[in-house]
Amino acid sequence: MKMIFQPWKFETFIFSLLVLMFFSTSCQTYKTQDPITENSSFGRRNASDGAPLDDDYSWIDNLDFKTSDEKKFNPENDQYKNIPDKKNSPNEADKPSGEIELARTQHMSVLARESLGKFSSSKLLEISQGADNPLDKIASLCYQDAFENAFKLIDQIYFQYKNNTSYWNQVGSCYFLKKEVSKAILFFNKSRDLNGKYAPPMNNLGVIYLSQGKNQKAMLAFKKASDLNTFALTPLFNLSLLMLRFGNVDSSLAILEALYKKENRDSDLLSALGVAYLLKNAPEKSLEYFKKIDRQIIIQPQVGINYALALKMSKKDDEAKSVLSLVQIPKDADHKNYYEKVKRVVETL
């Protein structure tokens, strides 16, 4: 199941410190059969209202009369599969070692296969240039903010995919990434109309509800998405993070530990488990998960700050300082403030 991961902030108190973490909730969107882009044949059709008689049919394109074989929705194609593996990643010699390791981690992560939101910019570029599935190309283009090219491709494949639930869901993903939430909601519901058993748009509505502060609706949406597809990990992961955010640590841990049995290499999952055990005042257990995260990811503040805190709480002062020294200082005020708080604690004798 293809998902878009949209980071959100996790906050809770622990020992007078604010444990802060970006958790990745996933989102996919779609588009209705209204104008695809301003210059598409559909757009020109709407613009022709009230035109002189000679122009009444000026909106018609030869494209409108072309027949295309429709691409039906195929669940087997609903994961990102064109990820270079550990041994056969192309052009590795031309990439920094950190990106190589991150790409390899992504190849092994089931959660990463459900979303392009967990991929590096170089990996997104590879997918947009080399993916066989046009929906994968659209997703990668939108994650690179290349919306003009993405919507051109959306126009090109419209007749083949107009009855494909994943197509509309993916089109809406672009609107979500453009922060046009109203359109994203509309397109999620179009995708659901085409296939009420398709889980991504339900999960994605949960992400939007979460961003709007409608936490109860978000929880219901994540539960519904999980019920629709019991094999998908992302809705359960999102549900566990929401529980963790509001202090229901035991219920969250039950889900996270079950997910860990299925996927034990994903950095977001490992980090979430680390935070959950921090909240249970079990820093040694927390470290079991933080230590499994690739060093290249530790520099990310959403991981490294809490890792340093777990080391400090475990009386590993020197290691805590070492890890915190690697962390990129957050730019936004809230996370920078949290970083400074943890730094003061870590540096306290």
Look at residue 67 in the predicted model and tell me its pLDDT: 57
Is residue 153 a contact partner of residue 141, using CB atoms and an 8 Å limit? Answer: yes
Among 211, 200, 149, residue whose Cα is nearest residue 174:
149
In the chain, the domains with their CATH numbers are 5-33+67-347 (1.25.40.10)
Look at residue 306 in the predicted model and tell me its pLDDT: 95
Positions of the chain with pLDDT under 70? 1-68, 75-110, 118-119
Look at residue 138 in the predicted model and tell me its pLDDT: 92
Helix (H, G, I), strand (E, B) or coil at 80: coil
Look at residue 59 in the predicted model and tell me its pLDDT: 46
Look at residue 92 in the predicted model and tell me its pLDDT: 41
Look at residue 100 in the predicted model and tell me its pLDDT: 38
Among 319, 324, 318, 330, residue whose Cα is nearest residue 342:
324
| Residue 135 to residue 232: CA distance in whole angstroms | 19
Look at residue 136 in the predicted model and tell me its pLDDT: 87
| Residue 345 to residue 289: CA distance in whole angstroms | 21
C-alpha R_g of the chain? 22
Look at residue 315 in the predicted model and tell me its pLDDT: 96
pLDDT in tens, 185-239: 998 899 999 999 999 999 999 999 998 999 999 999 999 999 999 988 999 999 9
Look at residue 10 in the predicted model and tell me its pLDDT: 34
| Residue 83 to residue 92: CA distance in whole angstroms | 13
Cα–chain center distance at 278: 24
Look at residue 125 in the predicted model and tell me its pLDDT: 81
| Residue 50 to residue 73: CA distance in whole angstroms | 38
Q: Could you give the angle at the alpha carbon of 235 between the alpha carbons of 198 and 36, nearest 5°?
A: 50
Among 147, 143, 104, 108, residue whose Cα is nearest residue 127:
143
Look at residue 191 in the predicted model and tell me its pLDDT: 95
Could you list the beta-strand ranges (E) of the chain: 5-14, 17-26
Provide the phi-psi class of 48: left if phi over 0, else alpha when psi is between -120 and 50, else beta: alpha
The tokens for 105 are 């981690």
Cα–chain center distance at 40: 29
pLDDT in tens, 126-149: 777 777 789 989 989 998 999 999
Query: Residues of 227-264 as b/e, b for ≥16 C-beta within 10 angstroms?
Result: ebbeebbbbbbbbbbbbbbeeebeebbebbeebbeebe
